[in-house]
Amino acid sequence: MTKVVRHAFVVPAYGQSPYLGECLASLQAQSRPSPIFISTSTPSSWLAGMAAASGATLVEHGPNRGIGHDWNQAIAATPAEWVTLAHQDDVYLPRFAEETMARVDRFPTATLVMTDYGELAGGTLRSWTPMLAIKRLLAEQAFLGRDALVRRGGKRRLLAFGCSIPCPTVTLRRDVADGLFREDLKVDLDWDAWLRLADGPGAFVRAR
């Protein structure tokens, strides 16, 4: 019988990303350890080696049907109750999982937990850019100092003027996440998914 874990990271890996090693290292360094899965439709000995070196479970699927299919398959790759889709070109600060799951414990009705983020450019962290400022402003006008949005109107307001939920920071409750992403879309499939999720029950929560 498959053991169900509380939280897992799943990396939807494609090809041979030069940033994957840094991503996996950041997931290994979490203050609250979580299992790491790599989901791919482009298996290779290189990717198998990366998984072995990081203690990750490699799960293969196919054929390649686009990003929506990749994300849905990534969610399906783990039995965890909560899943973070860790993008292969991002790194996660050591307390990401700890802070995220603390919000889950605090808000039992949560379906989605999001965090803030910065941008890495040439090895330099940029904590402020015009795009980051706009996303934070959109989030603040919805949350209004709160940590959770429970009502549909508040969740919709968060997304009304653009996608202010940073996709790589999102942790999803598994029972609402299976098959969440539309596979016929090439762009904005995360925005579409969050809008549909906003129409259902459960809170959108942020960790700051």
Phi, psi dihedral angles at 39 (to 5 degrees): -110, 130
User: Are 35 and 8 within 8 A, CB to CB?
Assistant: yes
User: Are 90 and 168 within 8 A, CB to CB?
Assistant: yes
Q: Which residues contact 144 (CB under 8 A, 6 or more apart)?
A: none
Tokens in use for 17?
A: 């990303």
Q: At what angle do helices 189-198 and 67-76 cross, to 10 degrees?
A: 50
> What is the structure's pLDDT at 2?
55
Give the model confidence (pLDDT) of 71-84 as tens digits.
999 999 999 999 99
Question: Three-state DSSP class for 52?
Answer: helix
The whole-angstrom separation of Cα 165 and Cα 136 is 9
Position 67 pLDDT exceeds 90: yes
Listed range (2-6, 24-28, 109-113, 114-118) with the worst mean pLDDT: 2-6
Give the model confidence (pLDDT) of 76-117 as tens digits.
999 999 999 999 999 999 999 999 999 999 999 999 999 999
